[in-house]
Amino acid sequence: MENLKNIAPLSDFDWDAFENGTTESGANSTADEQKYDTTLGRVQENEVVEGKVVAINKREVTVSIQSKSDGIIAASEFRYNPELKVGDTVEVYVENQEDKKGQLVLSHKKARAAKSWERVNAALENKEIVKGFIKCRTKGGMIVDVFGIEAFLPGSQIDVKPIRDYDVFVEKTMEFQIVKINQEYRNIVVSHKALIEAELEAQKQEIMSKLQKGQVLEGTVKNITSYGVFIDLGGVDGLIHITDLSWSRVNDPHEIVELDQKLNVVILDFDEEKKRIALGLKQLQPHPWEALDADLKVGDKVQGKVVVLTDYGAFVEIAPGVEGLIHVSEMSWSQHLRSAQDFLKVGDDVEAVILTLDREDRKMSLGMKQLKDDPWKEIEARYPIGSKHTAKVRNFTNFGVFVELEEGVDGLVHISDLSWTRKIKHPSEFTKVGEPLEVIVLEIDIDNRRLSLGHKQLEENPWDQFENVFTEGSVHEGTITELMDKGAVVQLEYGVEGFATPKHLVKEDGSKAQLEEKLPFKVLEFNKDSKRIILSHSRTYEEPARAARTRKPAPKKDAPAVQNQTAAQSLGDNDALAELKAQMEKGE
């Protein structure tokens, strides 16, 4: 307050002139106003204008738009442009000319967004190269900030090489080309790969023009697939097919090479139009067949490992890159159709005999069964005719049963040789696959390596005895087991079957015999060779009635037995038949 006492107005100040604007200071004021308007310019809020960068630090960028104050913008809004420097011109959006602190509020992000769609469309049309900031990873690619808009960068469009680690690109600024815009959904797709493809195409043309078959080049393993390996030859790719990686069989290319490995390859073939190059790796090594023991010959024993297994055989590697085929027919002396998988599996160590050897065509066939004696050698001494054996049922046909006596020795039991008495329609009625079956050797066919066997021959032929039992004219009780249009099958005693035609099935009351009905039958015919018995029920009452009408009355005697008197001697009275009956009843 003491200082204020010393302050006094100028004694010579012309207040009237000041009020009228005619003083020198008034004139200066007018000029200053004109200079202010010219220097600062006029800006409107919510408008996009150009500004100049006047200062940069880690957190903020100061931008002047020739207003009363400079605007402060977060440095993060310029992260897409790491090369920003003082003096650069940038677009800014005027959010507020003066906030509560008197500060001009600007936004570079909003300025970019305001004109972004115009710029991205123009960039697509003009194939312009734009800069973008990779914000983060997403499914299938990356999210890129382009002109303030989020665009999608597919993983396949990052580089011409397959990308194994996407994270190394996050928060990096790269150049892109806009390749697609969806106006409806405002989606943008960008590509970095497209920028380098043109340059690579020129390199490819130059490299392809210099390629020659047989040329050896150095390359880098770019990608490994199940079918081969892609090699980068310095701007152009070639493929080593899995079969050209090694002279040995390769199940997985990873066993031979690894990613980014440098190696020499030889050009096998190339297509200049399709830009395809076939490469080889194994061709740089001598063929294993050339190093194969010169003394190796047919009949020698070799050892190896099963590398490939098929239904028809197994490929065995006896030396690296040298394989022989063991056909399934050479794995066992057995004649049954079987698969190689029944004998071997991949990885098995096997011993075999060389059957054929072709060094020129590099082919070899091997055999395993030759290490064992041929079971058909001296077959007549080991399985003489009439000898009895236990066989294993292998399979059926309509005409018989195939059995195996031992590995490599098969035989056939004809359906007619299964049973003396049973009429078998199919062998499956008699036995089952895998079951044992007692057989007797009937014939030996050495040329076809087959034995004719029998089962019923293990027992005596009961028809020799039946000839004395089922004599023509004898009467026996029988049960009808099957009815057909042409007649009926009748089950007689001792397991024997007979046949009666329809006219012989008529009963005394005129009705026809029914299924499962038990009746007396008269033997009309007995044929031991064809094992056929023809029967008649009607004759059992017709002939006695006819005889009664023709003969004179006779003194009463005991009633005749149902059994024919010529066959009165029963099986119980005949030692041989009694024994046969006991055997058959036991079998039943």
pLDDT in tens, 100-120: 777 788 888 888 777 778 888
pLDDT tier at 286, thresholds 50, 70, 90: confident
Check whether 560 has a pLDDT greater than 90: no
Query: How far is it between the farthest Cα atoms of the chain?
Result: 197
Nearest Cα residue to 283 out of 244, 233, 325:
244
What topology does CATH give the domain 463-586? OB fold (Dihydrolipoamide Acetyltransferase, E2P) (2.40.50)
Q: What is the mean pLDDT of residues 409-416?
A: 87
Sign, CA torsion 239/243/248/251: positive
| Ordered alpha helix ranges (H), 361-469 | 379-382, 463-469
Radius of gyration from C-alpha coordinates of the chain: 54
Nearest Cα residue to 235 out of 262, 210, 208:
208
Q: What is the mean pLDDT of residues 413-421?
A: 82
Q: List pLDDT tens digits, range 24-83.
A: 544 455 555 554 444 444 667 778 888 899 999 989 999 888 877 888 888 888 887 888
What topology does CATH give the domain 48-112? OB fold (Dihydrolipoamide Acetyltransferase, E2P) (2.40.50)
What topology does CATH give the domain 127-196? OB fold (Dihydrolipoamide Acetyltransferase, E2P) (2.40.50)
- Provide the 3-class DSSP secondary structure of residue 125: helix
Out of 473-482, 489-498, 579-588, pick the least confident: 579-588
Same fold, 127-196 and 288-371: yes
User: Which residues partner with 490 through β-bridges?
Assistant: 480, 498
Q: List pLDDT tens digits, range 192-210.
A: 888 877 777 777 777 777 7
Q: Where are the domains of the chain?
A: 1-40, 48-112, 127-196, 211-284, 288-371, 379-458, 463-586
The pTM of the whole model exceeds 0.75: no
What pLDDT was estimated at residue 15? 58
User: Which residues partner with 526 through β-bridges?
Assistant: 533
What pLDDT was estimated at residue 183? 81
Residue with more model confidence, 239 or 107: 239
Q: In this structure, how many other beta carbons lie within 10 angstroms of the beta carbon of residue 246?
A: 18
Check whether 331 has a pLDDT greater than 60: yes
Specify the CATH number for 211-284; select among 2.140.10.10, 3.20.80.10, 3.10.20.310, 2.40.50.140: 2.40.50.140
pLDDT tier at 262, thresholds 50, 70, 90: very high
403's tokens: 């059995």
Q: In this structure, how many other beta carbons lie within 10 angstroms of the beta carbon of residue 466?
A: 22
Check whether 449 has a pLDDT greater than 60: yes
Q: What letter would DSSP give residue 219?
A: E
